[in-house]
Amino acid sequence: MSEVEGASDQLSEVSLDEKQKPASENVENSPSDSPEYLSVTIGATVPTGFEQTAADEVREKLGSQSRISKDRGKIYFDISVESLSKVHGLRSVDNLFVVVQEFRDYQFKETKEDVLKDFEDLAGKLPWSDPLKVWKINTSFKKKKTKRKKLTQQNSINKEKVDDEQGDMGAEKQITSHTVEEVLETIENQDDTIGETPILAYSKKISEIPSAIEKEKGVNESPKEETESQVLKFRVTCNRAGENHCFTSNEAARDFGGAVQDYFKWKADMTNFDVEVLLNVHNNEIVVGIALTEESLHRRNITHFGPTTLRSTLAYGMLRLCSPQPTDIIIDPMCGTGAIPIEGAAEWPNCYHIAGDNNPLAVKRAANNILSLLTKSQVKESKAFWGLPIDAIQWDICNLPLRTGSVDIIVTDMPFGKRIGSKKRNWNLYPSCLQEMSRVCRPGTGRAVLLTQDRKCFAKALSRMGHLWRKVHTVWVNIGGLHAAVYLLKRTSQVFVHPSELEHEKETF
């Protein structure tokens, strides 16, 4: 059965729609009663700065135009329900939700009490029906959340791995570093939104909650016949950004959540919920949505994390900036865990990708990540699997074992000098690595996409190499709260001459 057929079958099983649809929406023969006409707006969070990249991907893969939200890091596009599986296949989006209703110029009342009362009233007036159908269909596409091990448990596992890995650090240090990695990973995955972070703030005592079934069966039937599992569990998450709000995200989620519960007779559950209702408030814009992802879609390639593992969605955005063409040779000379070249090999399999790093532990992690992906792909593919066009190697970026002019594209995430290296060391590293990159990169057509937060040092190093690199575009990004830049550089047609040769020429004249 195709995914579309599967989705249509499930649609007929949706029990929420008619009984819970407000009367005003219950129009007979409405086009939206039929799955093929079910058209909804999808909201997607994307790495800040890469909204246009995501919009381009949506247009290319789904044929839909996107609207970029005023609060950066989100795009909206319309789809028909058959495209839902393709939406989950997008590489540039982190989290997905179906829009219930959008208010572009919401008129907030003067006092907190009045604003919160309006939120309560809103719950019963929203067009929930189609978004809930989409939520139901979506369950077959949704990836379940990967269970995180507790840190203490993780430590003992790491201890075993340390003996196996034997990198250049001692065992004790490794355990510590992996624990820090867990923490950093959490930071890295925090929402980039400026303002209050997404917090759920609604709960009610379970004993107070009548079930949805009671409402559906009518009051004469005993509520005791209900089973707990038939009642949907939900939570409300409020994201709020903007200066002039007289309420907090907690208060909004609590009061709006209370009204949602009263309306649907669902059960509130902060951690084990079926439906996550989103209340996104940005200045005077409000978007109510239902989450379609349990865990961010950027969690796809990496199983062995490092201290600064890059999101796969950001890696995709960086790769896309330099438009890879079939047979291009693409290198990440400071690959860490290999997030960029692995995403490259998965999405551009007609190119050849090389992942290199000077830290043996990083190369080992990258190799392990490649291996995990190969194993996963082998299990998934029914036909013969030819592997991935990628290699991992230990090297020093300042002295690459590659022929001059042999590389088409360089995409890398440079040490910021915070978690890796130091700002002081960057003053030597950046000029040397830009020089070596200009040697290996093909004159005239070569390009580089470089991510760094050490913008001052980068600008200085680049200014000395203006004859070899031309800066075409800068994308401003937010990496775990740090303001960083992604530079797209084009290699000029000037032939590379090593500075020592220039010196020699000067001497012989």
Ligand X SMILES: C[S@@+](CC[C@H](N)C(=O)[O-])C[C@H]1O[C@@H](n2cnc3c(N)ncnc32)[C@H](O)[C@@H]1O
Structure tokens belonging to residue 19: 């009984």
Residue 451 beta carbon to ligand X: minimum distance, rounded to whole angstroms: 8
Residues 6+ apart with CB under 8 A from 122: 256, 259, 288
Our CB check for ligand X shows the closer of 181 and 255 to be 181
Q: How far is the CB of 466 from ligand X (least distance, A)?
A: 23
CA distances for 77 relative to 43, 69, 92, 157, angstroms = 7, 11, 14, 43
Q: Whose Cβ is closer to ligand X: residue 45's or residue 337's?
A: 337
**Sole binder of ligand X in the list 397, 407, 449, 479 (CB under 6 A):** 397
Rounded CA-CA distance 305/188 in Å is 12
Residues 6 or more apart whose CB falls under 8 angstroms from that of 471 comprise 462, 487, 488, 489
Decide: 478 and 430 in contact? Cβ < 8 Å. no
Distance separating alpha carbons of residues 59 and 56, to the nearest angstrom: 5
- CA Rg, the chain, in Å? 26
The answer to whether 358 contacts ligand X (rule: CB under 6 A) is yes
Please select the residue that binds ligand X; options are 341, 415, 431, 446, rule is CB under 6 A: 415
Virtual torsion, Cα 426, 429, 435, 441, nearest 10 deg: -100
For residue 316, give both structure tokens: 């995709």
Q: Which segment (69-77, 108-116, 142-150, 351-359) binds ligand X by CB under 6 A?
A: 351-359
Q: Which of 116, 362, 434, 450 binds ligand X (CB under 6 A)?
A: 362
Closer Cβ to ligand X, 280 or 426, answer by number = 426
Q: Which 136-165 positions form the footprint of ligand X (CB under 6 A)?
A: none
Report DSSP state, residue 303: S
Tell whether residue 359 is a contact of ligand X (CB under 6 A): yes
| Residue with Cβ nearer ligand X (213 or 420) | 420
Residue 402 contacts ligand X per CB under 6 A: no
Residue 84: CA count within 13 A, CB half-sphere = 30
By beta-carbon proximity to ligand X, the closer residue of 278 and 450 is 450
Binding to ligand X by residue 339, rule CB under 6 A?
Answer: yes
Task: Indicate whether 334 belongs to the interface with ligand X (CB under 6 A).
Answer: yes
Q: What is the DSSP string of 226-250?
A: --GGGSPEEEEEEEEE-S--SS-HH
Is position 396 an interface residue for ligand X (rule: CB under 6 A)? yes
How many chain residues interact with ligand X (CB under 6 A)?
22
The total number of residues written for the chain in this structure: 509
Q: Which listed residue (337, 426, 438, 453) binds ligand X by CB under 6 A?
A: 337
Strand partners, 477: 484
CB of 333 to ligand X, least distance (A): 6
- Min. distance of Cβ 494 from ligand X in angstroms? 24
Q: Interacting stretch for ligand X, rule CB under 6 A, among 42-50, 144-152, 391-399, 480-488?
A: 391-399
CB of 171 to ligand X, least distance (A): 20
Select from 8-16, 39-47, 178-186, 336-344 the region that touches ligand X (CB under 6 A). 336-344
DSSP annotation string for 445-469: T-EEEEEES-HHHHHHHHHTTTTTE
| Binding residue (CB under 6 A) for ligand X from 258, 289, 306, 317 | 306
Q: Which is nearer to ligand X, 169 or 420 (CB)?
A: 420
Note whether 336 binds ligand X by CB under 6 A.
Answer: yes
Kindly state the smallest distance separating residue 53's Cβ from ligand X, in Å.
Answer: 18
In 244-317, the DSSP E strands lie at 267-268, 275-282, 285-291
C-alpha triplet 322, 326, 332: angle, nearest 5°: 50
Contact pick of 413, 438, 448, 449 for ligand X (by CB under 6 A): 413
The vertex-275 CA angle with 288 and 252, nearest 5°, equals 45
Q: Rank residues 95 and 337 by Cβ distance to ligand X and give the closer one.
A: 337
Q: Which residues of the shown chain bind ligand X in the complex (CB under 6 A)?
A: 306, 308-310, 333-337, 339-340, 357-359, 362, 396-398, 413, 415, 420-421
